[in-house]
């Protein structure tokens, strides 16, 4: 109980983040952790107590009525997929316990916050994000989960097999669920994995970019879903097939190139092009860059500290904008503040928590170069300040 009270007390202080910084600017890692708590706290603590459905608002496009069927699992899975690497460090035992309690509530049939894993198509998406969180924090989120809750999680994940994914990035949601089930010691469905990997190998367009299906789309789905899930599905299964092992090696090189592109997209002001669908996921657009920093596989010439500086600039530009949070601390639809027109029919309050995917580098300890090295200007900032730099080139991977 003392840990829980300490956690709740910390949440109460976070909404005053900007004013608290006026006298002493915290280091970047402290700032990121404070922002993580501000975003994730309301979701995890309320679900841990079985009251997320009772208190979380459901903002959606006018006329869209079905989002309460899906929004709560969205909020949980998307929050955890981003903060899992930090939870795995165990730096905050109270928050780790709160996360496990939230998971247990989401999968317990008698819980008021029991989530939908089988009705409609959307549950496959967010079961996959939750599965990804288990792969990213196997000790804190899975091994320390009580056996009864583990059994409920497995039963819930298996229910998603009735959902047939579309011929696009959704194939990777099915594959991610199977990757988790395999890691949990369950029988996994090889065709669901093979279909996803074979299709995406065919949809590769070159220079570090995949199509979302057969067609190329100007959006951030290479980072929201495709490349992060390709990396971790392949890492789970590359011993199953020489072809998958070879694709894993290629995928690392492709992701390094896409990370280089992502770093160059961040302007000197901490903005980036607002292109394509699902832009209301905000800084989650940089999940792949964040994941490559976590994996210590950033592209040549891109220093960890410049990535940290660039992502911090994006975070401050977006998340400190008035209207990003409502008066009770819940995220609202938008990119810079409250902009409900940017939400598609499938967007609701729970969807927005994919912004947490940017927090992957918090899985690196405070002594890691990513956090400890002095701040550095990122590529666009250097170039627009007149600094010379090597020319950029495509990859043949």
Whether the pLDDT of residue 6 is over 50: the answer is: no
- Specify the pLDDT at position 25: 57
Range 33-46 burial, b when 16+ CB lie within 10 A, else e: bbbbbbbbbbbbbb
The string of DSSP codes covering 218-254 is SSSHIIIIIHHHHHHHHHHHTTS-HHHHHHHHHHHHH
**pLDDT for residue 3 is more than 90:** no
pLDDT higher than threshold 70 for residue 389: yes
Cα distances from 144 to residues 126, 139, 357, in angstroms, run 21, 6, 22
Question: What is the average per-residue pLDDT within 4-17?
Answer: 44
User: What angle is formed at CA 254 by the lines to CA 318 and CA 268, rounded to 5 degrees?
Assistant: 30
DSSP code at position 209: E
CATH of the domain spanning 2-384, picked from 1.10.600, 3.10.450, 1.50.10, 3.90.79: 1.50.10
Residue 150 has pLDDT above 70, yes or no: yes
Query: Among residues 298, 387, 363, 386, which one has the least CA distance to residue 88?
Result: 363
Q: Using an 8 Å Cβ cutoff, are 95 and 88 in contact?
A: no
Reduce the secondary structure of 153-186 to three states and give it as a string. Answer: HHHHHHHHHHCCCCCCCHHHHHHHHHHHHHHCCC
- Residue 176 is predicted with a pLDDT of 98
Query: Is residue 15 over pLDDT 50?
Result: no
Tell me the pLDDT tens digit for each residue of 264-286.
Answer: 999 999 999 999 999 999 999 99
Percent of the chain clearing pLDDT 90 (strictly above): 92
pLDDT, residue 26, reads 72
pLDDT in tens, 338-357: 999 999 999 999 999 999 99
- The mean pLDDT of 142-155, rounded to a whole number, is 98
- The closest alpha carbon to 288, from 375, 210, 236, belongs to 210
pLDDT in tens, 285-314: 999 999 999 999 999 999 999 999 999 999
Six-digit token string for 241 = 């097939």
Cα 372 from Cα 375, distance rounded (Å): 9
Span 59-70, average pLDDT: 96
Q: What is the pLDDT of residue 397?
A: 82
Q: Which two tokens stand for residue 11?
A: 């949440």
Could you tell me the two tokens for 219? 């959006």
What backbone torsions phi and psi does residue 385 show, to the nearest 5 degrees? -95, 5
So what's the pLDDT on residue 263?
98
Per-residue pLDDT tens digits for 119-142 = 999 999 999 999 999 999 999 999
C-alpha distance from residue 339 to each of 56, 119, 343 (Å) = 19, 29, 8
Mean pLDDT of the residues in the chain: 94
CA 102 to chain centre: 17
pLDDT tens per residue across span 68-124: 999 999 999 999 999 999 999 999 999 999 999 999 999 999 999 999 999 999 999
- What's the pLDDT tens digit per position in 196-255? 999 999 999 999 999 999 999 999 999 999 999 999 999 999 999 999 999 999 999 999
Give domain limits for the chain: 2-384
The pLDDT tens digits of the residues spanning 39-55 come to 999 999 999 999 999 99
Rounded mean pLDDT, 383-394: 95
* Residues found in the chain: 397
Please, which pLDDT band fits residue 396 given cuts at 50, 70 and 90? Answer: confident
Contact call for residues 167 and 213 (beta carbons, < 8 A) = yes
Short-list 258, 248, 305, CA closest to 286: 258
Does the pLDDT of residue 16 top 50, yes or no? no
As a whole number of angstroms, the distance between CA 17 and CA 19 comes to: 6
* Residue 10: pLDDT over 50: no
- Quote the pLDDT of residue 229: 98
> Which residue(s) pair with 210 in the sheet?
204
Q: Residue 204 phi/psi, 5° resolution?
A: -65, 130
Whether 364 and 29 have beta carbons less than 8 Å apart is answered as no
């Amino acid at each position: 109980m003392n840990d829980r009270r300490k956690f709740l007390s910390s949440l109460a202080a976070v909404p005053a983040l900007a004013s608290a910084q006026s006298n002493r600017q915290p280091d970047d890692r402290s700032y990121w952790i404070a922002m993580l708590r501000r975003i994730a706290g309301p979701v995890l603590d309320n679900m841990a107590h079985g009251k997320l459905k009772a208190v979380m608002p459901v903002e959606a496009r006018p006329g869209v009525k079905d989002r309460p069927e899906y929004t709560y699992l969205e909020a949980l899975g998307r929050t955890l997929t981003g903060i899992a690497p930090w939870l795995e460090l165990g730096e905050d035992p109270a928050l780790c316990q709160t996360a496990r309690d939230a998971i247990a509530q989401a999968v317990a049939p008698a819980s008021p916050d029991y989530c939908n894993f089988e009705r409609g198509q959307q549950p496959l998406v967010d079961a996959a994000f939750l599965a990804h969180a288990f792969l990213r924090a196997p000790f804190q989120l899975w091994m320390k989960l009580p056996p009864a809750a583990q059994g409920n999680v497995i039963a819930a994940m298996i229910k998603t097999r009735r959902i047939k994914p579309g011929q696009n990035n959704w194939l990777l949601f099915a594959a991610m669920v199977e990757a988790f089930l395999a890691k949990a010691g369950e029988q996994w469905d090889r065709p669901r994995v093979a279909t996803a990997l074979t299709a995406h190998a065919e949809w590769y367009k070159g220079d570090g970019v995949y199509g979302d299906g057969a067609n190329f789309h100007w959006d951030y789905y290479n980072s929201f879903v495709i490349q992060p899930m390709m990396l971790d599905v392949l890492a789970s299964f590359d011993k199953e097939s020489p072809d998958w092992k070879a694709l894993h090696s290629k995928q690392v090189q492709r992701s390094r190139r896409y990370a280089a592109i992502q770093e160059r997209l961040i302007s000197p002001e901490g903005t980036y092009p607002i292109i394509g669908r699902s832009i209301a996921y905000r800084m989650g657009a940089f999940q792949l860059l964040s994941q490559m920093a976590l994996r210590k596989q950033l592209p040549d010439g891109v220093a960890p500290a410049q990535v940290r500086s660039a992502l911090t600039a994006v975070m401050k530009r977006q998340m400190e904008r008035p209207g990003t949070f409502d008066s009770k601390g819940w995220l609202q639809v938008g990119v810079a503040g409250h902009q409900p027109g940017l939400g598609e029919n499938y967007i609701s309050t729970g969807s927005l928590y994919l912004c947490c995917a940017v927090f992957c580098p918090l899985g690196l300890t405070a002594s890691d170069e990513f956090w400890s090295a002095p701040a550095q200007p990122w590529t666009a900032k250097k170039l627009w300040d007149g600094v010379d730099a090597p020319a950029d080139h495509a990859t043949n991977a």
